[in-house]
Amino acid sequence: MSAFGWPLRRRFLLEPGTAFLNHGSFGTTPRRVLAAARRWQRRMEANPDRFVREILPGALRDAAARLAGFLSCSERDLVFVENATSGANAVLRSLELRPGDEILATTHGYNAVRQAMRYVCSRTGAKLVEARIDLPVKNESDLIASIQNNIGKRTRLLVLDHVSSPTGLIFPVKRLAALARRRGVQVLIDGAHAPGQLDLDIASLGVDWYTGNCHKWLFAPKGCGFLWARKSAQRGLHPLAISHGYGKGLAAEFDWTGTRDFSAWLAITAALDFYSRLNPQRLRAHNHRLAIESATAISRAWGMPLDGPPELHGSMMAVRLPDSLQRSDPARLMSRYLTLRRTVVAVMQIGGARWLRLSAQAYNSPGDYAALLRTLPEK
Ligand SMILES: Cc1ncc(COP(=O)(O)O)c(C=O)c1O
């Protein structure tokens, strides 16, 4: 396939003239993968009855098997969900928590998942504890210590982002899971950003549940997420919509939660083909280098810190915004970047401060980041 950077942009629908530096938020899907999803839709619409009864069950399991191969886990422990938000919700809302139990998360957790944790706590009398992680992070041991110090006698569940949303920091989930399990604490990983950005071997991580998105860094159409559960953590786990498969096992419960468009899940095969043709190792190296080099150049130009060391990042990195912008509204800043700089970039708020989060994907080249270097954004 073509070289990374500009030559690859034509394989996507990205609008011309705009530097797209926010792959992290929603991803963007290649034309070829969208075409594969459309083909599945046409197959369904040609005879919906036959499709649902005779084609879909096998096709879904085949797609799950292909994804399981990529994630290094068993197809029997893997189901599709719409996105990481619903995967995390399915786990959280299946838990049997008692008053006084604690869910331990971090101050870097994704807000939608935090709200789901607050909701289950409010229904059960459990408590949400958030380990504070200050930026910049110095090293992996810092991350581990902040979390370990907050595991207590009542901690029932540890919820960690594999790659944190506001910064792109990679959490050492395997080491943290081992610590948690020694204390009898179950572990849910929110891997919304991990598939495609990191080399994953889910079954070896020692966690109980792992949810992730394929529509961010794996090029699948929107609405393609997954949930993996170790065997012992499958009992009592139910999708958000209980349907015909209730009580019949993981796949039966999750594969059918009511009539829907299945094309995003079925197109995972095309997404994985696209990803592997790019050469995953080279792709990840390209993205990592671009994210680190551009964030470092901006941090030097602005005289502001990076969120942590390069080795704790994959394809995203954050730079603290200059003091003059620390009071600005993040959404307004993002709109200003777009209208004045033709640049799509994420402005994140964490620990009361505003950070600029840069993403780097196959279609990005160094020139995309130039507008951020030249001038400070307007208030
Ligand atoms: C850590 C994390 N979890 C969950 C999500 C939610 O993803 P989705 O909207 O696809 O459910 C995101 C989105 O950026 C995220 O960064």
Prediction pTM value: 0.97
What's the pLDDT at 375? 61
What's the pLDDT at 354? 95
- Using the atom order of ligand 1, give the atom closest to the CA of residue 215: 10
The continuous run of DSSP H or E covering 340 comes out as helix 330-341
The candidate with the shortest Cα–Cα distance to 128, out of 100, 94, 95, 96, is 100
Q: Which residues line ligand 1 (CB under 6 A)?
A: 25, 83-85, 110, 112-113, 161, 165, 190, 192-193, 213
- Using the atom order of ligand 1, give the atom closest to the CA of residue 24: 14
Span(s) in the chain for CATH 3.90.1150.170:
6-21+279-374
- Using the atom order of ligand 1, give the atom closest to the CA of residue 162: 1
Domain 6-21+279-374 has CATH 3.90.1150.170: yes
Residue 214 CA to ligand 1 center (angstroms) comes to 11
Residue 84 CA to ligand 1 center (angstroms) comes to 6
What's the pLDDT at 376? 62
- What span, in angstroms and rounded, lies between the C-alpha atoms of 262 and 77? 19
What's the pLDDT at 337? 83
- What span, in angstroms and rounded, lies between the C-alpha atoms of 198 and 196? 6
What's the pLDDT at 295? 97
Low-confidence ranges of the chain (pLDDT < 50): none
What's the pLDDT at 377? 60
Question: Which residue's CA is the nearest one to ligand 1's atom 12?
Answer: 192
Q: What is the pLDDT of residues 336-358, one digit of tens each?
A: 888 778 899 999 999 899 999 99
Q: What is the largest CA-CA distance in the chain?
A: 62
Q: Residue 62: how many CB atoms within 10 A of its CB?
A: 14
Residue 85 CA to ligand 1 center (angstroms) comes to 6
Residue 49 CA to ligand 1 center (angstroms) comes to 34
Question: Which residue's CA is the nearest one to ligand 1's atom 10?
Answer: 83
- Using the atom order of ligand 1, give the atom closest to the CA of residue 161: 1
Beta bridge partners of 253: none
- Using the atom order of ligand 1, give the atom closest to the CA of residue 87: 11
Contacts of 336 (CB under 8 A, 6+ apart): 377, 378
Residue 263 CA to ligand 1 center (angstroms) comes to 20
Residue 164 CA to ligand 1 center (angstroms) comes to 9
The CATH architecture that domain 34-273 belongs to is: 3-Layer(aba) Sandwich (3.40)
Contacts of 147 (CB under 8 A, 6+ apart): 104, 106, 131, 158, 160, 176, 179
Q: What is the pLDDT of residues 7-16, one digit of tens each?
A: 999 999 999 9
Span(s) in the chain for CATH 3.40.640.10:
34-273
